[in-house]
Structure 1
Amino acid sequence: MRATRQHASTSEATMNVLIIYATIEGQTRKIGDHLKATLEGEGHRVSAIDATVSQDVPAADTFDAVIVAAPVHAGTFPSTLRRIIKGAAKTLMARPGAFISVSLSAISDDPSELDEIGDMVEAFSNETGWWPVSIHHAAGALKYTEYDFFRRWMLKRISAKEGGPTDTSRDYEFTAWPKLDAFAIEFVEQAPVLAGKI
């Protein structure tokens, strides 16, 4: 599933990367864990914070770059994540940051849906005071077997409208792992250059 190189070359700096995420149905946690393994495979040191469990962000001198990941839910991002980012905005702004939104809109053929996610990210930054230097929209998952009747019915209708799967007897994962890896690896590799501009 992971597409990584064998090791970071000796000419590349080992980075301390902080990942902060919030999850609702578990896919964003899976993305956070995956990114941690991917970047560690590149030779970096990575720590992860689940904002639904902890609100403690370490001091800025303990990490070189931060990646924040959050699912779109009810037209926004989880309140637990908004709270931790707002509370630590000054610390986080001291280092280059990347934001990963997780939603099914990432696989839509309608460009207005991605524009809508972009607006949500901007609203998130306006609310929290944290502005990422790079943004990636990752597709999430349809976990039909875990939904209650109403949510399963609602998401089946939305999926059908988008031409997506409607068999509710199974789950579907749409995350493009190689693209996610490429985004994270490139961001971390560019972080030393970006840091000089902060």
Structure 2
Amino acid sequence: MVSILVVYESGEGQTAKVSEYVENVLTARGHDVTVRRVADAADVDVTLYDAVLVGSPVHYRTHLPEVVEFIEANLEALSARPNGFFQLSLASTIPLKVAQRGDDAYVDSLVTKTGWQPDHVGRFAGAVTYSQYNPVERMVFKLLAAVTTGDTDTSRDYEYTDWDDVDAFATAFADDVEARLERDTATRRHAGTRRFTWAATGVVLLLGVMAFAYWAAARQFVPAEC
């Protein structure tokens, strides 16, 4: 069993849903998963976990500042263990190369800003939650939807997350974590066996030296034959 920390922040709740889904996938693999919002993670010690995932939505072409701050504050601990990052953005809903390049650019910007290079990266489509927007935001997202998805009915919300993609990301992360920890365990076991072998060899040599010394000393007290 592996202890995995999933830390995220969410705007309208879609990143929280993705984090819960990831938790379910990892828990089903038999792992001990802790899920915390960044706002509630000030006292979390990342070094106590075997692996870590961090998640954030993209708002106005950037990740949430509190997520960036968490990464910067825990950069060394994140880099020292299996890790991954996932983001939710509307760019992922648009099947155009320019949109996909923009989606990639969000991650590149995070890497440049924090110095963290995640082992695994998940890019998922988010949601348009008209019901949670103020009038100005509702108008902005309606205009964006008019030239992208066409989902301009502000009386309802739209979810675009591909849960199969989320499942594949979580599964690949679990596979990698399990394989790496298994290799680390085998390395430690091999190192322990090697140390035991050297120790056993040392004991045998010491016993040999002691036996020779005893034999040499005993010869001095044996009377010469007449």
Q: TM-score range by the shorter chain?
A: 0.7 to 0.9
Match of 2:134 among 148, 168, 175: 148
Correspondence 1:39 to 2:26: yes
Correspondence 1:188 to 2:164: no
Structure 1 pair 192–38 and aligned structure 2 pair: CA distance change class (3 A):
closer
Is the 2:7–2:41 contact (alpha carbons within 8 Å) kept by the matching residues of 1? no
Match of 1:26 among 5, 8, 13: 13
Q: TM-score, normalized by length of structure 1?
A: 0.86
Q: Which has the higher contact order (CA 8 A, sep 6+)?
A: 1
1:171 maps to which residue?
A: 157
1:11 maps to which residue?
A: none
Note the alpha carbon deviations across 1:85-114, whole angstroms, 9 max, x for none.
100000110112111110111111112222
Tell me the distance in 2 between the aligned counterparts of 1:53 and 1:26: 15
**Which amino acid in 2 is paired with 1:105?**
A
2:99 maps to which residue?
A: 113
The structure number with the bigger radius of gyration is 2
Is the 1:23–1:52 contact (alpha carbons within 8 Å) kept by the matching residues of 2? no
**Which amino acid in 2 is paired with 1:52?**
A
1:101 maps to which residue?
A: 87
Gaps (5+ residues) in structure 1?
1-13
Match of 1:88 among 50, 74, 91: 74
**Which amino acid in 2 is paired with 1:35?**
V
Structure 1 residue ranges, 4+ long, deviating more than 3 angstroms after superposition? 192-197
Identity of aligned residues (%): 32
Tell me the distance in 2 between the aligned counterparts of 1:188 and 1:21: 18
Aligned to 2:123, the other structure's residue is in SS state strand
Tell me the distance in 1 between the aligned counterparts of 2:24 and 2:179: 23
CA RMSD of aligned residues (A): 1.7
Structure 1 pair 39–192 and aligned structure 2 pair: CA distance change class (3 A):
closer
Correspondence 1:54 to 2:34: no
**How far has the Cα of 1:160 moved from its partner?**
1.1
**How far has the Cα of 1:35 moved from its partner?**
1.3
> What is the aligned residue count?
183
Gaps (5+ residues) in structure 2?
185-226
**How far has the Cα of 1:59 moved from its partner?**
4.0
**How far has the Cα of 1:183 moved from its partner?**
1.1
Tell me the distance in 2 between the aligned counterparts of 1:193 and 1:114: 30
1:3 maps to which residue?
A: none
Note the alpha carbon deviations across 1:3-54, whole angstroms, 9 max, x for none.
xxxxxxxxxxx22111111111111111112211221122111011211333
Structure 1 pair 164–16 and aligned structure 2 pair: CA distance change class (3 A):
farther
Q: TM-score, normalized by length of structure 2?
A: 0.76
Aligned to 2:84, the other structure's residue is in SS state strand
2:190 maps to which residue?
A: none
1:10 maps to which residue?
A: none
